[in-house]
Amino acid sequence: FDGFRTSHELQKIQVWDYKDLKQMCDMEAVEAFRARALSPQRPQMRGSHENGDIFFQNREASNQYYEAVPGIVENYMRKINKKLGTDYQLFNYYGAPDADRVIVAMGSICDVTEEVIDYLNANGAKVGLIKVRLYR
């Protein structure tokens, strides 16, 4: 339900100027990525004639890119944290430092969970939250 809830609510946001966004990433790399995308203006076929063995080799060859994602995301999180004064990590902890119960969550439920944790901890519980910011 996270997608429905998020798409049907109003929140105040702070929009970045494109010049600030351009400082965050290599725009030439973005354009090169877009140029490789599938497009009706440049039709092409990919992977249309593969047996299982070749398909598996291609899947394995792509693993290096997936394995690099956490480091890349952390790098951009550092840049964003520096710019906005935030502390986004791949996983953030919220709650009692000596928690005996921990909730693991991601998405918009984390805001509600923080309120519940504040209430529970104020009433003697020891509860924490691990916010997952990068999954898979």
List pLDDT tens digits, range 38-93: 999 989 887 777 888 888 998 899 999 999 999 999 999 999 999 889 999 999 99
Q: Please indicate, yes or no, whether residues 31 and 59 belong to a single structural domain of this protein.
A: yes
- Quick check: is 121 in a domain? yes
pLDDT of amino acid 16: 83
Q: Which of 24, 10, 6 is nearest to 77 (CA)?
A: 24
What is the three-state SS of 64-103? HHHHHHHHHHHHHHHHHHHHHCCCCCCEEEEECCCCCEEE
List pLDDT tens digits, range 110-133: 999 999 999 999 999 999 999 999
Q: Please indicate, yes or no, whether residues 31 and 61 belong to a single structural domain of this protein.
A: yes
> What's the pTM?
0.76
Range of the domain at 96: 91-132
